Structure 1
């Protein structure tokens, strides 16, 4: 059984500001992917909606995820994201095993 943590994060930007989410992700992704314990950090645009995104994250452990949340680059991102997002991101934790 895997102790990794899988997250699906739904993000909606203010109308016409999806490009700001993409730019923010492009700056942040290399830093996050270099963190100890990061297995996956991928942003996908929702087809047909330039202002909606899904971020897929996977971490080796809850401790690695907790450390990620306290990095300077994430603290800065958390302060900046509300300037272009329509509201808070919805974070869903996925089970370790698929249903079928």
Structure 2
């Protein structure tokens, strides 16, 4: 089974940095408990505190789909974080090496 690497890029709306910063650690902690999660790491840009990158790895595409159906994803990402962003992109990659 091929693992899936997810790269999510967030640009936080001006003035919402603290609100997002309070939610992201809770998301990472919850995601790491999922049986299909391999890793979940969050990075804030050194040059732009509004720029975050989330590097997530799952055992399969199915595990990522299951992640997106969890209560914590819906509550923290869709209801909590996304409304506080100017931009969000999510890239999916099969792990090949």
What TM-score results when the alignment is normalised by the length of structure 1? 0.86
1:79 aligns with 2:58: no
- Per the alignment, residue 47 of structure 2 pairs with 48
- The alpha-carbon deviation at position 39 of structure 1 amounts to 0.6
The answer for unaligned runs of 5 or more in structure 2 is none
| Distance in 1 separating the partners of 2:68 and 2:82 | 16
Query: Structure 1 residues 40, 6: CA separation in 2 closer, same or farther (over 3 Å shift)?
Result: same
Considering fraction of residues, name the structure with more strand: 2
Matched residue SS, 2:85: coil
Aligned ranges for residues 61-100 of structure 1 at < 5 Å?
A: 61-77=60-76, 78-87=78-87, 89-97=88-96
The answer for unaligned runs of 5 or more in structure 1 is none
| Distance in 2 separating the partners of 1:81 and 1:52 | 13
- Per the alignment, residue 28 of structure 2 pairs with 29
Q: May I ask how many residue pairs the two structures share in their alignment?
A: 96
- Per the alignment, residue 6 of structure 2 pairs with 7
- The alpha-carbon deviation at position 62 of structure 1 amounts to 1.1
- State which structure, 1 or 2, has the greater radius of gyration over its C-alpha atoms: 1
